[in-house]
Amino acid sequence: MTTIELTRFRVAADKAAELVAARPGMLADFAADRAGFVAAQLVELPGGEWLDIVEWETPEDFAASRAKGGNLPGIARFFAAIDELVTAEEGTLAA
């Protein structure tokens, strides 16, 4: 069952370029290190907020990824640009 991770966070205006620059490294590290990683989309919202939509093959894959945190340089660099977590949710792809 496809699991969708929805993470909303804030990034200071002076770190937005760093966040975007770090994204390819994060995705490469996810592809290399995260079983079940399918795809991700990063959405810029108004007011310095961003939404990361990540697709996982199973809820177990997502849980395993969450447990690893920022274990690789590309992931850690992306996480370092984030100032504040707003929400983190998990759902199942309905269609």
In tens, the pLDDT along 49-94 reads 999 999 999 999 999 999 999 999 999 999 999 999 999 999 999 9
Query: 3-90 has which CATH code?
Result: 3.30.70.100
Hey, what are 48's tokens?
A: 């310095």
Hey, what are 58's tokens?
A: 């199973």
In tens, the pLDDT along 8-59 reads 999 999 999 999 999 999 999 999 999 999 999 999 999 999 999 999 999 9
Single pTM value for the model = 0.94
Q: Give the Cα separation of 93 and 47 in Å (integer).
A: 28
Q: Give the Cα separation of 65 and 46 in Å (integer).
A: 28
Query: Do 19 and 83 form a contact (C-beta atoms < 8 A)?
Result: no
User: What's the pLDDT score for residue 1?
Assistant: 86
Q: Give the Cα separation of 72 and 76 in Å (integer).
A: 6
The domain segmentation of the chain, as residue ranges, is 3-90
Q: How many CB atoms lie within 10 A of CB 78?
A: 24
User: What's the pLDDT score for residue 95?
Assistant: 84
Query: Do 90 and 3 form a contact (C-beta atoms < 8 A)?
Result: yes
Phi, psi values for residue 42, rounded to 5°:
-110, 125
Query: Do 60 and 94 form a contact (C-beta atoms < 8 A)?
Result: no
User: What's the pLDDT score for residue 47?
Assistant: 93
